[in-house]
Chains A and B, each alone.
Chain A
Amino acid sequence: MEAESARLKPAERRWQHALESRRVLALLLIAPAVIFMALVVGVPFVWAIYLSFTDAIGGSLTGHWVGFDNFANAWQDDNFRRALRNTLIFTFASQAIVVVGAAVLSNFLVRDFRGKWIVRFLVVLPWAAPVVLSTIAWLWLLDSLYSVVNWTLARLGLDDGLVWLLGAVHLEEDASVPLQWLGRPNLALIAITVVHAWRILPFAVVIFIAGRASIPTEVEDASKIDGATGLKKLWYVDLPLQLPIALVAVLFGIVFTAADFAVVYILTHGGPFNSTQVLPTWAYAIGIDSGSLGEGAAISLFLFPLLVLVSVGMLFFARRAQVS
């Protein structure tokens, strides 16, 4: 090796020396990825911000400066407000279900039991399935005429009771059998929330289990000596220690639900009567279907504050998880 580098011309030797320096080599290795992401994420992102301040229409890349008009117009539209409200409902309602479900399921899935591999396979299915495809499966489950959910409710004699209940709690005043899960505003809200929770839950379970695995065995022994068992141990020992990683799973879930386009688009197209629109589908309706590129960009940018909050939370918990 020595002899080999001695044979090289001085210029080449200097070049090779530079490659041995940590800093130069690190920069060289990171640069391609960073430049690429600046081009395909950074540029379009800045561009989206620029477009949101212009009157650009479909087919053009520029427009006239209109200040905050697009944001003001979007805000004054009832459909936009409903889209914003729905985005928040879907995100936080589904993540609440996910957190409870994942906390329970992960604590049982770490135990040893017969048939564990098949249970794990079934639990991971919704995560492994492409989201568009699994949503189409749900479209069939909730079909207006052939819904297996309604068929089952009817056979169990629960359908009339459910209709009465929906009326009693003022969720759907004049629903009737068979229930139109995707054809009535509030039922569709429930259906979409459940589908989101269903598809995020496996990922959360997997991350929760990873969080459990990171608990040192000394803690397990110590809590045994102190007599902490069952629910008490779960609440006071396991859950707090899982918290930092669990929160990362939740932050992920928030981004993937809030920014999701496919589930709502395939289940309801934002209907009935725009009652289930979310920010991404509404941005698509305005920006692509109606061709108001500027206003569409403004609508999608309303997602940004949420994203920043999540990112800050992520950095915070990543750091904390590291320190402890």
Chain B
Amino acid sequence: MRWREKGLTYAVVVPFAIFLAFPFYFALVTMFKTNLDLANVEHSPYVYNDLQGHFHWDFWNYATTEHVRFLFEDTNYPTWLLNTLLVGAAVVAITLLLAMPAGYALARLAGGWGQSAGVAIFLIYLVPPTLLFLPLSRLITQLDLKDTLWSLILIYPSFTVPFATWLLMGFFKTIPQELEDAALIDGASRLKALYLIVLPISLPGVLTVVIFAFSLCVNEFIYAFTFISSSEQRTVSAGIPNDLIRGDVFFWQSLMAAVLIPTIPLALLYNAFLDRFIKGFTGGAFR
């Protein structure tokens, strides 16, 4: 009975994992393919082949890194990565500054209406950029921010702040009130208790917010796409589809490298912080 259960688990879980991860496996194979190997439709696309289309176990001798080098030396990709990091860092800083006090107040101080206000703020996160990008693109032009990273730094907190407030509210709720009360009795002010007691304990939660807010910035497309038109000012999400996909000429190997390089570190971070994310996400109200 036991081994049948196990077998069933694998029979379900493995096909799902293959389906979900396959595009990334395929991207990984493609990024090191030689042009001749890639362009021959008789060759197996799953592995590296010699000129006759045969697979060898020393497959790395039939692969190439020239397209990865091309990506870093002959395109704006490094600039986009840097821009993404800059925008992400600035947006995360603004987000924490606004969302930490709000999340704390909603979890602790606001009383009965704190719950409703928390859900209301969260609903703002559901107002999609596709509803707002038309007026915002005009506004950015009026403010003379078009084609600058500042436009993204100003607008991205519009979705990271509600998201982070919600998560932080969930985290703060899991910290026992007694800890703070003890500090208050010892004579600390509320702000001091927040700073000395609550912040250090909620550091893992804050780190989770940093990672997920940052990844929201990397994900964003329509604002980056409409606000910015010069290649040097783009982020990865807007730069790759705009500059590396030109008409029918695709640099598939370079494109796949460009896809995988930001994905792998993000995936590792997601896995490391997934449990905490769930705790904050579902701890806010859905308990």
Measured CB to CB, the residues of A under 8 A from B are 1-2, 16, 19-20, 22-23, 25-30, 32-34, 36-37, 40-41, 44-45, 47-48, 51, 59-61, 101, 104-105, 108-109, 111, 113, 117, 119-134, 136-141, 145-146, 148, 151, 198, 201-202, 206-207, 209-211, 214, 244-245, 248, 252, 255, 258-262, 265-266, 279-280, 283-284, 287-288, 293, 296-297, 300-301, 303-304, 307, 310-311, 314-315, 317-318, 321-322
Other-chain contact of B127, A45, A125, A260 (Cβ < 8 Å) = A45
- B-side residues, CB < 8 A to A, are 5-6, 8-10, 12-14, 16-24, 26-27, 30, 38, 41, 44-46, 97-99, 101-102, 104-106, 109-111, 114, 117, 119, 121, 123-124, 126-139, 141-142, 154-155, 157-158, 161-162, 165, 187-191, 215, 218-219, 221-222, 226, 236-238, 240-241, 245, 250, 252, 255-256, 258-259, 262-263, 266-267, 269-271, 274, 278, 281-282, 285-287
Ranked nearest first, the 10 interchain pairs of A and B with the lowest CB-CB distance are A259-B128, A29-B101, A1-B187, A26-B109, A280-B130, A29-B105, A33-B102, A122-B21, A128-B267, A47-B135
CA distance A123 to B99 in the complex (A): 30
A-B contact pairs, 21 of them (CB 8 A): A22-B109, A25-B109, A29-B101, A32-B101, A32-B102, A40-B136, A41-B124, A123-B17, A130-B237, A133-B240, A134-B263, A140-B26, A145-B41, A146-B38, A245-B282, A255-B128, A262-B237, A307-B126, A311-B123, A314-B119, A322-B286
Closest to A144 in B: B248
Contacts of A139 in B (CB 8 A): 245
Most buried by B among A122, A262, A318: A122
B126 near A255: Cβ-Cβ < 8 Å? yes
Shortest distance between the CB of A221 and any CB in chain B (Å): 19
Within the complex, what minimum Cβ distance (angstroms) separates B108 from chain A? Answer: 8
Given contacts A32-B102, A122-B17, contact A37 B161 (CB under 8 A): yes
